[in-house]
Structure 1
Amino acid sequence: MSSIPHRVYVLMGVSGCGKSALAARLAHCLPCAVLDGDFLHPRANIDKMAAGVPLNDADRHPWLAALSDAAYAMQRSNALSIIVCSALKRQYRDQLRAGNPQLSFLYLKGDFELILQRLRTRQGHFQKADMLASQFAALEEPGSDEGDVHALDISRPLDAVAASAVQWIQSRQDN
């Protein structure tokens, strides 16, 4: 490995906040590996969400363990990696942080009405618009004690959000 630490950035927030769209944009702007955390959900979780049933902490634990392992592997082989993961609760973020000291979060922050509007226009995703309330109820917004989290205002156009993300990532890559 080079002397500059390899880093992993988790794009976090509720469903519909633009995590996947931002990840795709970052993949075009930065030399990075991208993993959509939804692909690591066990089959039972996908079926549960498709049926409109919110996941509980027990459902998420093995998924977060797989994501933590993926982050570890990614930082060993890529200078820069992006993972898409809701990471709604502090305990979830802490589980991802464990054993991954070069991991940080970009919190895609938006209000309920904006995200609800986006979900209503979304096609081909297993998250249902009526589950958004449960996501906001579960969300523990990162506090000032989580210094590895940077909030991005998603009310702006995607290009502006991506530019802010790239600027923050590049500032941290140099450290």
Structure 2
Amino acid sequence: MHFAASVPPARKRLLYCHYVRPRRRGHYANILDAGNYGLAYMGGGFINSSPRYWVQLFTTSQGFASVTSSSGSLTFPSVETMQKEYLICTDKEGVVSYLPIDVSAMTQNGDSFTLELVGRTVTLTISGKQDPTIDMNGDGQAGVSDMQCLFDYLVTGKVPANASFMKLADVNGDNEINILDYQAMYQRLKS
């Protein structure tokens, strides 16, 4: 097996290799839990054997100097959006690691998710308004896309795929779906 990293040869580091069975649960947890042991995730690959084993590579670390996400922000509109991103961590020696974002390996407190990395605590925040009573498109968030969904229905009469739409669309509760519901939805989103 060959491994190349962007670590200058003058820097002595210990490299740890962890073998993982294909599709084994806990792959992300191994990566995210490495900080508890003073290790930083370097990358992964596989050993071309039968059966094929995936390899996770870790190195010793003095701690991370900076952490950001692939979108450049630590605030996300939803948990689903957050978990599609990854963390970009640069340690104090300039070595960059890329970590998955997985809420099952994080501590949740309301809309905040905390992850303990080597020498650094990272908090990711969900800032999207969560109001299931006006989630017209069924994405778990209340926002402009829900207003667009209701507007499209008012203009075309075509019912969106969200099974709850007809029940939710009567925002003001007058048993009619019309522009007054759109106005009521705008007021709720604004508050």
| TM tier relative to shorter chain | under 0.3
How high is the TM-score relative to the length of structure 1?
0.26
Q: Which has the higher contact order (CA 8 A, sep 6+)?
A: 1
Which structure shows the higher strand fraction?
2
Q: Rg bigger for which structure?
A: 2
TM-score (norm 2): 0.25
